[in-house]
Amino acid sequence: MDLQNVRAALVRQVLLCCKNQPLVYARTVIPVTTIQGAQRRYANMGNRPLGAMLFSDRTMQREAVEVAMLPFDDDVNRYTDSNEPIWGRRSVFRVSGRPLLVSEYFLPELLMRS
């Protein structure tokens, strides 16, 4: 990921639930330099789905998807009763050439619902 030199960013965290059961945890890191000009709308999403905004943005480009695992001491672990690792995916999206990092972690309860 090329966000190593970011000094200030907006962090958005979302839990996707079904019947009040958290199934997916998503974290987006948007550098302050990304949310300037026309991209300011990414700082004011409210409850709008990020995916809908990204995939309707004609300037959007997605970089490689990486497999990621949350550390056991991450706060997200409080949403699960499992001791299993929490696996997910992350990738950098570019809007008008500016990066934002999207990470999605699939809570063990999601797999138990299948």
Tokens of 98: 């500016």
Each residue's pLDDT tens digit, 7-65: 788 899 999 999 888 999 999 999 988 888 888 888 888 888 999 999 999 999 999 99
The distance of Cα 38 from the centroid of its chain, to the nearest Å, equals 21
Domain assignment present for 80: yes
**Residues of the domain holding 47:** 9-112
- Helical (H) or strand (E) element with 56: helix 50-56
CATH number at residue 18: 3.40.1410.10
- Helical (H) or strand (E) element with 89: strand 86-95
Domain assignment present for 79: yes
Contact predicate 62/102, CB 8 Å:
no
What's residue 103's pLDDT? Answer: 94
Strand partners, 86: 70
Return d(Cα 22, Cα 25) in angstroms, integer. Answer: 8
Whether the model clears a pTM of 0.95, i.e. scores above it, the answer is no
Tokens of 100: 């934002």
